[in-house]
A = this chain, B = another copy of it.
Amino acid sequence: VDIALLMTGNELMRGDTVDSNSAMIAQLLAPRGFDIACKVTVGDDIAQLLAALQLLSQRYPVVIINGGLGPTEDDLTAQALSAFSSCPLQQDAEALAHVQRWCAARGIAANAANLKQSWLPETAQLIDNPVGSAVGIQLRHGDCLLLAAPGVPSELRSMLRGELGTCLTAGFPQAEARLIRRLRVFGIGESRLQQQLQDRHADWPAAVKLGFRAGVPLLEVKLEVGNKADLAQRDQCEQWLRLLLGERLIGESDDTLATVVVDLLRQQKRCVTLAESCTGGMMASELTAVAGASTVFEAGFVTYADSVKRQILSVDGALLAQHGAVSREVVLAMARGALEASTADCVVAVSGIAGPSGGSEEKPVGTVWLAWGGRDNLQAKAFFCPAGRRFFQAIVTAIGLDLLRRYLLGSERLPGYFQRPDRAD
């Protein structure tokens, strides 16, 4: 079912807010069989809202209006729906009770601004908002179903998963739920993966739609079928994909390198330490963003200066002088030093040239050495990622976590990604 979005808010028009709600709506509704065919975005302006409602309600069976349900004067969605449907606003008993409960839970008395949120067009029905004070609005206009939800992302999300989603599904039983499988991948790009799939599987079934969403650092691969009869075909394609990806498959849906690594460490009751130079603490920061990381991560060292690599990680000054800080020898010594300085049983150490300065012909900006493994089986390898400083740090952080992941999985092959095109390691 093709539907329309009407986004409203001056902050969107001024560029003060990037609209991430649209993407959230599209992602949450696609599996239920609803696609966004057209989106109109206007400021907090009643004439603009009315013109857009007029236009979209004539062309689409559903219009989702997002924003403009807050307590302030420039929140005009209820008023626009009232004018558009020629239904006066009236105080809704259920909405009033909702606002009062919400205020009571926060120990405050409902003021006029809060109470404004309980006035809905006469013929409208309330859509529950389990998170915030603003209830949603459901209204029929001719053949069009108008649904309004607040712009606060957490509220919108819980409503899409709750009553707003139910309204849609109930109103359009013909919408065919899509069965989507999402796999997350590191170490191969979209075009190369697509090419390899084509080369190997000329018989890819038409019923299984392949999609990609490129992120930093993970690539998401979507496998989608329109109905349950095609699930076996999707499973077949998933098998092909898993086989082709091998160790480049990180996980499903919401998995990240950090969550997968923390899970593996927990399962194996192991503890990791980190010795970071060019990533400057980002690897530790990613790991500790996972709730419960404290059981698997005790200590990290951000050793930027050579003197600190010597003092804290006991890296031999002669090694530094002979090979430079960005070298196999030094990164292995950093790894050993971090293990010595902690009780962890595995480690990742990293030293590289983030730039913009500090590169040379032999070791250009983007060159990085990583060492990883356990106390008695450390490995090291060079990688190459010539990119802006922040992007370099993000990719190198991902490589470090991925090497740890592969080590914990007992992988025997070294990954071939992010190599200098002009030389083999």
A18 within 8 A of B: yes
The main secondary structure of chain A at its interface with chain B is mixed
A279 proximity list for chain B (CB < 8 A)? 285, 288
Interface readout for A1-33 with B: 1 if CB under 8 Å, 0 if not?
000000000001111111110111111001000
A304 proximity list for chain B (CB < 8 A)? 288, 293-294, 297-300
A300 proximity list for chain B (CB < 8 A)? 280-281, 300-302, 304
Q: Interface size (A, Cβ < 8 Å)?
A: 70
Task: Please measure, in the bound complex, the distance between the C-alpha atom of A43 and the C-alpha atom of B274, giving whole angstroms.
Answer: 45
Minimum Cβ distance to chain B for residue A151 (Å): 13
Task: Please measure, in the bound complex, the distance between the C-alpha atom of A79 and the C-alpha atom of B298, giving whole angstroms.
Answer: 58
Q: Say which one of A34-42, A134-142, A195-203 lies at the interface with B.
A: A34-42
A393 within 8 A of B: yes
A270 within 8 A of B: no
A179 within 8 A of B: no
Q: A15-B26, A16-B211, A38-B40 are in contact. Are A280 and B285 (CB under 8 A)?
A: yes
Q: A282-B281, A289-B280 are in contact. Are A298 and B307 (CB under 8 A)?
A: yes
Task: Please measure, in the bound complex, the distance between the C-alpha atom of A44 and the C-alpha atom of B312, giving whole angstroms.
Answer: 56
Partner-B contacts on A (CB < 8 A): 12-20, 22-27, 30, 35-43, 48, 52, 55, 211-213, 274, 276, 278-285, 287-289, 291, 293-294, 297-305, 307-308, 311-312, 341-343, 354-357, 389-390, 393
- Show 9 A/B contacts (Cβ-Cβ < 8 Å), sorted by A: A13-B35, A15-B30, A280-B289, A280-B293, A281-B288, A282-B288, A288-B354, A293-B304, A301-B302
